[in-house]
Amino acid sequence: MATIPVGPPHSIAGIIHAQVLRDDAQTDPAQAFSVQINAPAVPQQTLPLNNAATLDFPISTGAFHGTIHVEVDDFRLLPAGATGTAATAIACSVVFKLIEFFKVTLGSIPVTASLT
């Protein structure tokens, strides 16, 4: 799997860094994209960008103590109505939440990415 960055890297709450990646060997947009997540004192995490994908990891740095919950929201294939390999791109939001006693949304990344 040879991944290439899609767009610029993103910073969430100033401590979590995320980069959208594309697997250039994959032809199905629903399987070709992921987000690489780097947070302090946490091994690098990768979340596939597809319907209902989630990831949880503990964090304890500065004012942030608890669990980071990352979820893919509103995932859709483009152009509208396309299915499977007929799609040429994806759109979604990657949402980052801190869970301690309650959930607080730290930020989100709007993603629109093409296979071309």
Residue 14's contacts (CB-CB under 8 Å, 6 or more residues apart) are none
Which residues of the chain, if any, have pLDDT below 50? Answer: none
Neighbours of 19 (CB within 10 A): 17
Is 59 in contact with 87 (CB distance < 8 Å)?
Answer: no
Per residue in 3-25, pLDDT tens? 899 999 999 988 899 999 999 89
Which pLDDT score is estimated for 1? 56
Q: What does the alpha-carbon distance between residue 111 and residue 99 come to, in Å, rounded to a whole number?
A: 23
| CA dihedral angle for residue 50, residue 73, residue 14, residue 97, rounded to 10 degrees | -110
What's the predicted TM-score (pTM) here?
A: 0.90
Q: What does the alpha-carbon distance between residue 105 and residue 70 come to, in Å, rounded to a whole number?
A: 10
